[in-house]
Amino acid sequence: MSAIVSKIHWIIILWVSFNLYILFTEKQEELIAKQDRIPVLDGNIKRSKRKKKQLQQYFKDIEKAKDRIEMVANEVEALQKKLPSNISDTQNLELIKGVAEGLNIKNVFLTPGNEENKGFYMVKRYEFSGTGTFLQFLVFFEKIAENDRLLNITSLKMTKTEKKQRGRFQLINCAASIIAYRYNPAHKEDRGIEAIESEFKKGGGK
């Protein structure tokens, strides 16, 4: 009995660590669900584009087709403008670093990448790394997801730190890619009107 009592603190630590891991897994799934704003917007745009293609294919009346396609293209552009109009490196770096340091995450490194043109929107990737506990990173990613700025976590890697443990909770090294979005004002949705008129003429439109 005394042997069990002498080891009870290890049992408690293992039990707490296991429950933190379960909590982290559950919260990570919730985090992913919260970050579905961009995929939902992207899905709406893709559905609108499919709708436009269907109109291009099936409308016989050239004038009606042009009107409907213009309307759908305007819908696509309206959805596009729901994205932020700019990406501020200063604000994003301050936000991410501030949240991490506020949670006492150590060895915080942030590297901004170049903007990438994705057609109707632009993206900018920030490579983040730091050292902390599961719980610290759990809260960190929740705060990033809940922030008003449209940020998305696209990749996440966690490994146990090789540094000798001093506390009771396992320290981990975390690397993540955080993506910021803005709409691309230079992108003009292709109406496809010329292609419709050309096809209509080839078919001897009535």
Residue 11 has pLDDT above 60, yes or no: no
75-127 residue pLDDT tens: 777 766 667 778 888 888 999 999 999 999 999 999 998 989 888 788 899 99
Mean pLDDT of 126-152: 88
pLDDT of residue 5: 47
Residues 6+ apart with CB under 8 A from 182: 83, 84, 85, 86, 87, 121, 122, 124
Sign of CA dihedral 110, 115, 118, 123: positive
pLDDT of residue 99: 93
What is the residue-averaged pLDDT of the chain?
77
Look at 97 and 165; give whichever has higher pLDDT.
Answer: 97
Per-domain residue ranges of the chain: 84-183
Q: Which residue in 158, 60, 11 sits closest to 3, CA to CA?
A: 11
Topology of the domain covering 84-183: Alpha-Beta Plaits (3.30.70)
Question: What is the distance between the alpha carbons of residues 156 and 147, in angstroms, rounded to a whole number?
Answer: 19
Question: What is the distance between the alpha carbons of residues 134 and 24, in angstroms, rounded to a whole number?
Answer: 7
Question: Rounded to two decimals, what is the model's pTM?
Answer: 0.56
Q: Given pLDDT bands bounded at 50, 70 and 90, which one contains residue 59?
A: low
Look at 46 and 189; give whichever has higher pLDDT.
Answer: 46
Residue 153 has pLDDT above 90, yes or no: no
CB 131 within 8 A of CB 105: yes
22-35 residue pLDDT tens: 666 766 666 666 66
114-131 residue pLDDT tens: 989 888 788 899 999 999
Q: Give a three-class secondary structure readout of 174-188.
A: EEEEEEEEEECCCCC
